Amino acid sequence: MGFCKKCGSELKGNAEVCPVCGAVQDKNSKKKKAVFGEKVSQEFDEEDIQENKVAAVLAYLGILIVVPLFLSKDSKFARFHAGQGLAVLLASIGYQMAVGVMTSVLTVLSWRFYYLTGIMRIAGAAFMVLSAMGIMNAVNGEARELPVIGKWKLLK
């Protein structure tokens, strides 16, 4: 027994349509998941996903990537996310270094470039966005390649 999501009328049995307002009661469809990127063809065990979600999330939290990388070796799901997290981490480190070099060079050339280096630093937030996407995917039990850098196959 339940109630209509739209009008609140009582529903009898497994009524899929509300007898009062006619609203469809898609009770079997789960809440829409927030997932990002392209789904991979690789198969993952549901059990593996459930057991290793936490490790998969840690893959996107900086140094905590060591957990899925070294402690959850047997989990395909954690390993997949470790690969994605590693791509984000390395790209982010590379980017920070590039920004550092550019900042030194531009500062020598003219202080007027300060806004440029400021923009570069702000653009670095893109890596936080990618990490957040990866975390959402992991939490939702999805194995998806993150935009742009998700294609890097750093782990086999």
Binding residues for Zn ion (CB under 5 A): 4, 6-7, 9, 18, 20-21, 23
**CA-to-CA dists, residue 43 to 57, 106, 110, 139, 146, angstroms:** 19, 48, 54, 17, 17
SS3 content of the chain, % helix, strand, coil (to 5): 55, 5, 40
Q: Least distance to Zn ion from the beta carbon of 10, Å?
A: 9
Indicate the residue among 23 and 139 with the shorter CB distance to Zn ion: 23
Indicate the residue among 15 and 106 with the shorter CB distance to Zn ion: 15
Indicate the residue among 21 and 93 with the shorter CB distance to Zn ion: 21
Q: Least distance to Zn ion from the beta carbon of 7, Å?
A: 3
Q: Least distance to Zn ion from the beta carbon of 8, Å?
A: 7
Indicate the residue among 14 and 107 with the shorter CB distance to Zn ion: 14
- From 46, 40, 41, 5, select the one nearest 145 (Cα to Cα): 40
Residue 96's CB is within 10 A of a number of other CB atoms, namely 14
Q: Least distance to Zn ion from the beta carbon of 9, Å?
A: 5
What length does the chain have?
A: 156
Q: Are 59 and 81 in contact (CB under 8 A)?
A: yes
Backbone angles phi, psi at 115, to 5 degrees: -70, -30
